[in-house]
Amino acid sequence: MQLSDLNRFNEIVVQIHNNPDADAVGSGFAIYRYFKKTGKNVRLIYSGSNIIKKSNMLILISELDIPLEYVTELNKPELLITVDCQYGQGNVACFEAENIAMIDHHNTGKLSDSMAEIRSNYASASTICYAMLQSAGYDINADIPMATALYYGLYMDSDHFSEIGHPLERDMIDFLKYDKGLILKLKHANFNMDELVTAGEAITSTKYLERFRLAIVEAAPCDPNILGVIGDFIIQVDTVDISVTYNKCSGGYKISVRSCTAEITANELADYITKEVGSGGGHLDKAGGFINLDSFQEKYPSCSPESYLIKKIGEYYGGYDVIRYNDKEKDYGKLQKYRKKPGIFGYIKSTDLFGSGTECKIRTLDGDVLVRSGEDIYIMLGKSGEVYPIQKEIFDGKYTPLDAPFTGEYEYRPTVINVTEGKHCEILPKARQCLSNTDSAILARPLERYTKVFTKWNYDGYMVGDKGDMLCYTFGNEEDVYLTECSIFDDLYEKDEI
């Protein structure tokens, strides 16, 4: 769904979830503002049994003049848009409307359609609004209150940016021009005295599982940012490598993960724990996630959240392999030789973007990769928008450059950032085509279980694959190890007939 698809309606009500948090208010306000500007008759509302009392929320609303109304009744509007929530879910009061649209980042199993934009790979609804406003051509930075509200929405819904994963969210933090004074004020009005007590009580009830060097903490329902504060405190204990803090929140459970060990990153563990029942992600050391109550109860009907977490974490600790690019022993016996199928890919020389020797970050879906530009470093663009660095020598063996520009439609348009100057540079406008050589070979085998691969490139962390995904080595350069998802492997490679 595009915002412009809704321009055919004139009488619009934007509704955010009950007990609104900063992300609900920020994203709802942005959508309100967009329709106001396009000349619509629009209102911003919330309902439920509580009116907003938290001081940071009251400051946000009054300083940005957000016309948020508390209502208990609504005259059937022409269009009702629920933002940061989904119509019919338990955390949003149900009002009748002629037409219903939704913008949300919670994973309830619902997918996007012509009246819904659901992106559960984003940490906040503010990010979705940012992306939708950008593609509608709206100049967000010309509207400082909107930019500030979106920035604070992402900040608060991502535990102070620790849970962001998507490159678009990293761009959003770099790009938004927000009111710095107001954000500073809000950052220091996050909690109240009751929440201080909640945090203290949660800490004293910490469960420690020595065999995993893991601390599990349940907190009473509170601002989810408290969970992060508790985790930041507990991870400093000498015998704790991982902390998982959680509590009940509207529609499910909120979890917060901290890690101080390189072998288990917080973002990966958060993803692992929530994979089937919600969504999760973030950074190497700090991450978080959400477990949807309906999916949880359906899949684990007789399980308490604590026993579920311990079960999942035990399963995780018990069952993964680690492969490093510089492992001396490689088990060649099981590997089979494959050849690349012919196909068109995109590439660009790093020196086409920046001068040689520039420190730059390639912003990929798997994180930022740091490289230094030079004649020997190229950047590849895969079929589904994946982007990664490649050495010229390996490129020359695998691909033949073609004299044509490369085009592609991606959810995220890949960028490279000049670290010194902080400049963003899009890759696509300068990308060229190349043809994969069918004489380039790899050695590969399916993974037998969950595996982490530490590649030669300086990625944030490591690559992970599940049983069935393919572990691949470039033939003749076995330090070049990587993973390919089983779903695309057969499109890219075929068995070598020797």
Query: Least distance to Mn ion from the beta carbon of 157, Å?
Result: 4
CB of 206 to Mn ion, least distance (A): 27
- Choose between 147 and 214: whose C-beta lies nearer to Mn ion: 147
Closest distance of CB 42 from Mn ion, Å = 21
Q: Is 272 exposed, middle or buried (0-12, 13-18, 19+ CB in 10 A)?
A: buried
Q: What is the dihedral of CA 117, 118, 123, 124, to 10 degrees?
A: 50
Q: How far apart are CA 90 and CA 292, in angstroms?
A: 11
Least distance to Mn ion, CB of residue 322, Å: 34
Token readout for 58 is: 């009251």
Dist. CA 158–CA 231, nearest whole Å: 14
Residue whose beta carbon is closest to Mn ion: 23
Nearer to Mn ion, 117 or 157 (CB): 157
- Interatomic CA distance for residues 162 and 177, integer angstroms: 20
Q: How far is the CB of 283 from Mn ion (least distance, A)?
A: 18
Rounded CA separation 373/379 (Å)? 10
**CB neighbour list of residue 142: distance below 8 Å, 6 or more residues apart:** none
**Nearest C-alpha neighbor of 215 from the set 195, 238, 245, 180:** 245
Q: Specify the residue, 47 or 158, whose C-beta has the smaller distance to Mn ion.
A: 158
Q: Which residues contact 492 (CB under 8 A, 6 or more apart)?
A: 340, 341, 343, 484
User: Closest distance between Mn ion and the C-beta of residue 446, in Å?
Assistant: 38
The alpha carbon of 9 is separated from its chain's Cα centroid by a whole number of angstroms, namely 32
Give the strand pairing for 79-83 and 11-16.
parallel
Shortest separation between residue 148's beta carbon and Mn ion, angstroms: 17
Angle at CA of residue 322, ends 369 and 170, nearest 5°: 25
The number of CA neighbours under 13 Å toward the Cβ of 331 is 9
- Residue ranges in contact with Mn ion by CB under 5 A: 23, 84, 125, 157
For the CB of residue 109, give the shortest distance to Mn ion in the complex, in Å.
17
- Which residue type does 358 have? T
| Residue 156 CB, nearest approach to Mn ion (Å) | 9
- Of 157 and 469, which has the nearer Cβ to Mn ion? 157
> Is the CB of 152 or the CB of 454 nearer to Mn ion?
152
Q: What is the dihedral of CA 12, 18, 20, 21, to 10 degrees?
A: -130
CB of 456 to Mn ion, least distance (A): 37
Distances in whole angstroms, Cα of residue 243 to Cα of each of 233, 256, 414: 10, 8, 33
Q: Which is nearer to Mn ion, 84 or 169 (by Cβ)?
A: 84
* Nearer to Mn ion among residue 103 and residue 444 (C-beta): 103
Query: Which residue's CB is nearer to Mn ion, number 84 or number 268?
Result: 84
Q: Are 92 and 71 in contact (CB under 8 A)?
A: no
Cβ distance to Mn ion smaller for residue 157 or 171: 157
Distance, CA of 277 to CA of 293 (rounded, Å): 8
Closer residue to Mn ion (CB): 240 or 293: 293
